[in-house]
Amino acid sequence: MSVIVVIPTYNEANNLPKIAAELFALDVEGLRILVVDDDSPDNTGQVADELVKTYPDRFDVIHRKGKMGLGTAYIEGFQWALNQGAEYVIQMDADFSHSPSYIPMMLERVPDFDVVVGSRYISGGELDERWSWWRRFLSWWANTVWTRPVLGVRTKDATAGFKCWQADALRRIGLERITSNGYVFQVEMAYVSEKLRFRILEIPIYFEDRRIGQSKMTIPVKIEAALRVFEIRWRHHNVKPT
């Protein structure tokens, strides 16, 4: 099996060696990691270069010239993974919000689906119990009251960022038509997946708060993401299953 885990990083120097060690400890045969780093000021890029030496042939990094955003980082990473001949491509954050422990289950289920989504909003899914009611409310509202009705998306967690794709599903998406740069990238991928009538499986996850480092999800970033949902609908409402 050939599995590439794509991890975009911006200031994750302290998380990266730990998440790499946990991923390689999973005992998933053929698992490789690709980091896409945006010239993080905390030197995540150099940490990644060290990891390339520690895990030869299993760990790679793409260095980009500046903070170019989560969306383009994933598109570059996915394209690289497809060119490397990956059968399955996993996307996850570096900050342990997405626990590597779910990956074996995702890989077990993905052969019968186009994509398996780590979901916070199906039965059994949960947000960190340390989150304030306000943070929970905002997250729930953004997903359930805003994004899903605006787009008519059936996936319960339309803003999820932890997914395991069949390589062929990523090819069918046509990555060149995905243009979101920020966090709304996840929503764009979810919407196009549904337009293409992909077989989507949601599995419940416990979404832990980031262990180390700082959130990049500021209020203006959240507002922009909310408004971008309309742009996504406008751009892709005509997409038809192939």
Ligand X SMILES: Nc1nc2c(ncn2[C@@H]2O[C@H](COP(=O)(O)OP(=O)(O)OP(=O)(O)O)[C@@H](O)[C@H]2O)c(=O)[nH]1
147 lines the binding site for ligand X (CB under 6 A)? no
187 lines the binding site for ligand X (CB under 6 A)? no
The Cα–Cα gap between 2 and 14 comes to: 27
Q: Which amino acid is at 30?
A: G
Structure tokens at 4: 């590439």
Residues 203-232: x/- map of binding to ligand X (CB under 6 A)?
-------x----xxx---------------
Structure tokens at 161: 């960022």
Q: Report CA Rg, the chain.
A: 17
> Residue 95 Cβ, how far from ligand X at the closest point, in Å?
5
For ligand X, which residue has the nearest CB?
Answer: 215
Residue 70 interface partner, choices ligand X, Mg ion, none, CB cut-off 5-8 Å depending on type: ligand X
Residues 228, 184 contacting (CB under 8 angstroms): yes
> Residue 47 Cβ, how far from ligand X at the closest point, in Å?
12
Residues 78, 68 contacting (CB under 8 angstroms): no
The Cα–Cα gap between 116 and 164 comes to: 5
Closest to Mg ion by CB, 15 or 147: 15
Q: What is the DSSP string of 91-119?
A: E--SSSSS-GGGHHHHHHHGGGSSEEEEE
Of 136, 119, 105, 103, nearest to 209 by C-alpha is 136
Residues near Mg ion (CB under 5 A) are 93, 95, 97, 210
97 lines the binding site for ligand X (CB under 6 A)? yes
Closest to ligand X by CB, 140 or 172: 140
Closest to ligand X by CB, 106 or 195: 106
95 lines the binding site for ligand X (CB under 6 A)? yes
Task: Pick from 73, 89, 158, 160 the residue near ligand X by CB under 6 A.
Answer: 73
Closest to ligand X by CB, 24 or 74: 74
